[in-house]
Amino acid sequence: MKLNWKYIGIGAGALVGALVLAAVLFIVFFPKELAAREAERRIEAATERDLVLGENIDITIWPALGFSVDNASLSNPQGFDAADETPFIAADRIVFAVALMPLLRGEIQVKRLIFDGAEVRLVAKEDGSANWTFPTEEEREQPTLEDLRLDDVQLNDSLITFQGADDGAPLTLEDVDARLSLESLDRPASLDVAFNFRQERVNIAGEIGLPRAVLEKGETPIIARVRSAALNGSFDGGFDGETGALAGAIEMRGSSLRRLLAWIGSPMADGGGFGAFEVAAQLARQGDVIALDDATFTLDDITASGRLNVVTQANDRLRIDGALSAPRLDLNPYLPAPAQGANAGGVEVDQGWSNDPIDFSGLRALDANLSLGVGALRFQQMDFSNVQMTLRLANGAADARLTRVSLYGGGGTGRLIADGSGATPQLAVELNVQNIQAEPLLRDAIGFDKITGRGTLTASLVGTGASQAAIMRSLRGNASFFFNDGQWKGVNLAQMARTVQSVMAGQAASSGGGATDFAELAANFAVADGVAATENLRLLNPFVRLEGAGLVNIGAQTIDMRIAPRAVRSIEGQGGEASVAGLGIPFRVSGPWSRVSFRPAVEEIVQNQLRDILRQQEQGSPLARLGEALFGAAPPPPAPATGTPSETPAPTAEGETPTPAPEEPQQEERPRNPLEDFFRRAMEGQKQEEPAP
C-alpha cells in the first residue's frame, strides 16, 4: 500500500501542536506556588528539618518536567549548627521533577530532585551522631523519606565537605556530579559519582543493596568501583549503618605509591622505589581498627603476604600491627641516593662518610609492631637468607631485631635501634654472626677483600648524630672478630720479615709471594669517639706468628697499627724451609682505608738489634753495662739439663772393638750483623787507645 505522506505529516504536526499546547497549558495553569509549598511541607515532615525555598519559582521543561526554586536550603538536625549558620545542604537551584500521569489527575508527586550548585556539609561527632541520618518508621508515625517516593536524586557542579570529630581540616570534594537512582528504599540503588579531590578526577560507581540501611542505621550489601589516575580499586562486602563497620573483599592498584601518598597528603622524600603497587585482602573495619586478612601486597618487584591491622590511636597516629612473609626483598631501590660519584653499594671508602642530614622524622609518622620473614634479603651489596625479624616502632624510635638470619655460609642474630624521638638522633647496633665466609662479607659490607677464611663477628655499638659522619665519629662500644683457616691477601708478612732480617744480617734479600696464610686471625676492640683500639691482634699458623696493637679510626676511615710478624718455622707459610726464624720484625700499618700501606718500623728494628748486640757482650764490659741501662738485665739462661752422659767410654764385651766417641758438632758460624760489626770495631778501637797499666 502506498504511503500517504500528506496525512502522515498532518498527524505529526497535530501531535507536535498538542504537545506544545500541553506545555503552554502546563506553564499557564500549573500551580507552581502550591506545588512548592506542598513539596516544602512533605520534605519537612519526612526529615524533621526546615526547608527554606527562595521566592523565585519557575516552571521547567528541561532537564525535567516540574518546577524549580532558587536559593534553597535544608537545615541540620537538632544538636548541630542552625540553618542560618551552616545548613546541611544549600543549593543555588533545586528542580522538583513531577510525575506526569498523577499530574493529569491533579496530584503533585515529586519523583526527582536535581540540585544545581549545591554545597553539602557532612558532620560527625565524637558520640557517633551524624547529620546525614534521618528519622525511621519505628521512631515516628509521620511520613518518612520513603513516602516521598523519589526515583532519582542528582547533584550537579556541587561541593561536598566532611568534618570529622577531630576538628581538623575538613575533607573537600569539588565539582561533584552525582546521581542516585532507586525504585524504593528496599530495592537496590545505583550510585554514580564523579568529583575532583586535590586536582585529581575520581569516578565511583556502586550499588547499595538496601538504601534504607544508610538512612536508618541498618546493614546493607555494598559494591563499589573506584577509578582515578592515582588509584583504581573495588570493594564487595557489607556496611553497618549503626557502627560504620565494613567487611568484604577489597582490591587496590596504582602506578605509583609515591604519587598516591602525595595525593592523599602524606608526601615522601625524594628517592627511588615505591612505584607500582597492588593490594588484595579481606577487609574488616570496626571502629578505629582496619584489619586486612589473607592479604597479598605487591610493591615494585616485592610480593608479600600475611595480615595487617591498621589502628587509629587516640593521638591520631596510626599503628600497624601484623605479620608478613616475602620470598625476596631488595632494599636498594628504597635507600637514599649515593653522593655524586659514589658507588651504589657497600661503603665507598674514597668518598668518606656523608655529612648530609639524616631525616628521622618519618619514624614519628606512625607506630608499628610487625614480624617479617624473608627468604632472600639484599641490602646494598650484602645478601641475606632465611631472615626472621621483628620491628617495633613507637614515639619516633624503631627497634628492629634479627632473630634469625643466614649470611655468607653462616648465621646469627642482630639488632638495630634508630631513635629519632629526641633532639639528636641515636643509633645502636648489636651483631653476633658465626661461621661466616670472611672475604665476601667484608667485600660486600665495606669494600675490603683481603681476608679469607671463616669466622665469627660480634659488635655492640652506639652512635649519636644528625648525619652519617657525625654518627661514625661518635661510635662507642666494643667489637671482635675471629677468623680461621684463611689468608691475608696482598702481603706476605713472613717474607717481609725475612727480607728485613736478611738485610739486617748482611744477607741478600729475596722476594716472596703476595699472601699470608693463617690458622687464626683475631682481635678485640674497644670503641670510643669513633676510634676502635686493640691490644691483642694476633695471627697464628705453624710457621708465622703475628702480634699487633693500634687504632682503627672509623670516623676518619684511617688505620694506624703496629704488627710484628715472626717467622717461626717457615717463611713461606705451610711447607717452606726456614733459613731465618724466631726474630719478630715490627711493621707499621697506616693510612686511609682506601690506600693502606705496610712499612717496616725501622726505629723498632734498630732498637731490637741494638738490645741483642749489647746483651751478647762480655759481662761487666762497658757495652754490657750500657745494654743493662737501656734495656734492663738480660733474662737468665735456661738451666742445664740433668743426667749428662760421662765422657768415659762405655765398657765393651771381650773381642768387641770399642765404639769411638762421637765428635762434637761444630757450631755453625752466625751471620755477621752490620750493627754488631760497628760496635765491635768501636770496642776494639777503644781498647787500643787505652794506656797500658
**Vertex 146: Cα angle to 144 and 149 (nearest 5):** 125
Low-confidence ranges of the chain (pLDDT < 70): 1-32, 34, 61-64, 82-84, 100-109, 135-150, 335-351, 446, 493-513, 567-585, 601-693
CB-CB contact of 361 with 398 (8 Å) = no
- End-to-end Cα, the chain, rounded Å: 170
Predicted pLDDT at 641: 44
Q: Is the dihedral of CA 213, 214, 219, 221 positive or negative?
A: positive
| CA–CA distance, 293 with 263 (Å, rounded to integer) | 26
CB-CB contact of 310 with 289 (8 Å) = yes
389 Cβ neighbours under 8 A, 6+ residues apart: 371, 372, 373, 374, 400, 401, 402, 403, 405
388 Cβ neighbours under 8 A, 6+ residues apart: 371, 372, 373, 402, 403, 404, 405
Query: Grid coordinates standing for 184?
Result: 524504593
Query: Grid coordinates standing for 268?
Result: 615522601
**Vertex 37: Cα angle to 36 and 40 (nearest 5):** 85
Helices (H), 86-130: 100-104
| CA–CA distance, 114 with 108 (Å, rounded to integer) | 17
Predicted pLDDT at 436: 94
b (16+ CB within 10 A) / e for 463-474: bbbbebbbbbbb
Q: Quote the distance between the C-alpha of residue 207 and its chain's center.
A: 39
DSSP 351: T
| CA–CA distance, 517 with 50 (Å, rounded to integer) | 94
3-state SS, one letter per residue, for 69-90: EEEEEECCCCCCCCCCCCCCEE
Q: What is the largest CA-CA distance in the chain?
A: 170
| CA–CA distance, 283 with 251 (Å, rounded to integer) | 10
